[in-house]
Structure 1
Amino acid sequence: MIFQTIRQQQPLIHCITNYVVANFQANGLLAIGASPVMADDYQEVEEMVAIAQALLINIGTLNDRTKSAMLLAGEKANKLGIPVILDPVGVGATTYRKETVKYLLENIHFAVIRCNLGELAAIVGVNWQQKGVDSGHGTIAMELEATSLAQRYQCIVIVTGERDFITDGKHSQWIAGGHPQMTEVTGTGCLLSAICGAAYSVSHNPYQQLTETLTYYKKAGVLASAFTADIGDFQIALLNAIHRLSKDGAASCIL
């Protein structure tokens, strides 16, 4: 089970992420047995990523300083064969975000792009009404566009939502499950991106392991909801559920 494998191997995940979710991401990685590091200054990111097993680039609170750090870290990771995960948070909200993601995709090879439907639409150029960093609404041939994006950048594309979709450009799969409370607190998608980095780094079959990651992350959401109906407690319950799954495996899903 992938969460248990992560706990056994304890990979170091370098997160250049946003300040809204940094603490939750770090605690989530610790809960699953990985080691987080949140370095984002351009003077140290190349050195830091060199000792990591995966790099996460999350543009949630993007600025020019972190943009430079993302490029340096991503290029260094590519040279060293370290997988890089892109979480293009709110990419469709502003021109600056769109141009930055385009620039990063042109200069860094990403192993995984983990996005929501609105973010996918923005990356592939489909007209969409983005609502800040939320998905928003519009019309898109999601499976076709996600598969095309995976083929174009030779990566795995994950589109999360009520059902998740994963494709490597050749194979694809839908994953159902989860709980609505996962959309009512900030950071659950960002944490998933970090966990995807951990899962990719410990695997010789990334597509299979990431599919399993999506499955069990949704199970963690269901497990968390069974322990609290209060939204303020949900993040803690989710961390507890991830921790239990990483220690006890599928047996933790039996309530």
Structure 2
Amino acid sequence: MTNDIIAALALVREQKPLVVNITNFVVMNTTANALLAIGASPIMAHSQQEMTEMMQITGSLVINIGTLDSVWIERMLFAVEQANAYNKPIILDPVGCGASLLRTQTARTIAANANNLIIRGNASEIIALAGETSQTKGVDALDSSDTALTAAHYLATHYQANVVISGEVDYVVSATRVISLKNGHHMMPYITGMGCSLTALTGAFAAVGDSTGLAATAILAIVGEIAAKHSAGPATLQLNILDGLYQLSADQIRQHLRIEVVSSL
């Protein structure tokens, strides 16, 4: 798995895949910079008038429901339709799922309509998306990532998707396997858009063939862990993470990666 992650990073840097993002106003700059730093090519495209053309040339579609309204929902569903037509991977970030009926229903509708789906969320969002009772405060998770494993497995089988649970321990879940990643740093949640950046990076790696979400999850966590050593607080950590994505080497991945197959069918 370590070699697969290293190879995926090399492919992103070599191919510089275009990633179409329908994302929220809060994180557009942050996620675009993360994609550029890793070597991908971001575009924040929201117009239905150009979406068919965009899906013909993109490597993947990232949908983030963070600043949701009726206009955005229509755009998102049309983009999913076009991504399916051109067989592009779709990455869904169900931001705040469980905090409101609108967010929960929209996330479930997108998931139900999407082919080639990867879902990336925190534990509370994953639990709520699966229809279980979660503990959430707006977009913040109050559940630990391990409590979302049953929900993630349900989503993986129900939607034929791969699921990434972000938390103190990250989990990558498919219908047949659960992988844990124990990298990262406790300061990372204090930066707006860290989870959203992971979702965007997942789109970059999906565009070069990693349909699991594993490479992006491992790489951002490793970079955050390394960057925290040289950061006085969240502001410098954010800058150092961008530099770390740009500078990350295969040797650093091998040195820092803490990965385990928790279960396999």
TM-score for both structures, normalised by structure 2: 0.89
Partner residue in 2 for 1:196: 202
How much has 1:143 moved relative to structure 2? 2.0
Structure 1: where are the runs of 5+ without partners?
Answer: none
| Partners of 2:38 and 2:86 in 1: CA distance | 25
How much has 1:252 moved relative to structure 2? 7.5
Partner residue in 2 for 1:125: 131
1:59-94 CA-to-partner distances (Å, cap 9, x unmatched) read 000111111111111111111111000000001111
Match of 1:215 among 214, 218, 231: 218
| Partners of 2:126 and 2:232 in 1: CA distance | 31
Q: 1:139 to 1:146 in 2, by over 3 A?
A: closer
1:19-77 CA-to-partner distances (Å, cap 9, x unmatched) read 10000100110001100000112222222222100000000001111111111111111
* Structure 2 counterparts to residues 53-72 of structure 1, below 5 A: 53-72=59-78
The one-letter amino acid of 1:218's match is A
Partner residue in 2 for 1:225: 228
How much has 1:144 moved relative to structure 2? 2.1
The one-letter amino acid of 1:175's match is L
Match of 1:242 among 217, 226, 245: 245
| Partners of 2:62 and 2:127 in 1: CA distance | 21
How much has 1:253 moved relative to structure 2? 7.9
Q: 1:250 to 1:214 in 2, by over 3 A?
A: farther
1:209-254 CA-to-partner distances (Å, cap 9, x unmatched) read x323322221100111112122212111110001111xx3334887
1:82-122 CA-to-partner distances (Å, cap 9, x unmatched) read 10000000011111111111221232225200011100111
How much has 1:129 moved relative to structure 2? 2.6
SS of residue paired to 2:73: helix
Over the matched positions of the two proteins, sequence identity in percent amounts to: 36
Contact 2:64–2:93 (CA under 8 A) maintained in structure 1: yes
**RMSD between aligned residues:** 2.0
Match of 1:86 among 92, 101, 105: 92
Partner residue in 2 for 1:146: 152
More divergent stretch after superposition (123-132 vs 23-32): 123-132
| Partners of 2:215 and 2:196 in 1: CA distance | 17
Aligned length: 250
SS of residue paired to 2:163: strand
Partner residue in 2 for 1:169: 175
Structure 2: where are the runs of 5+ without partners?
Answer: 1-5, 257-265
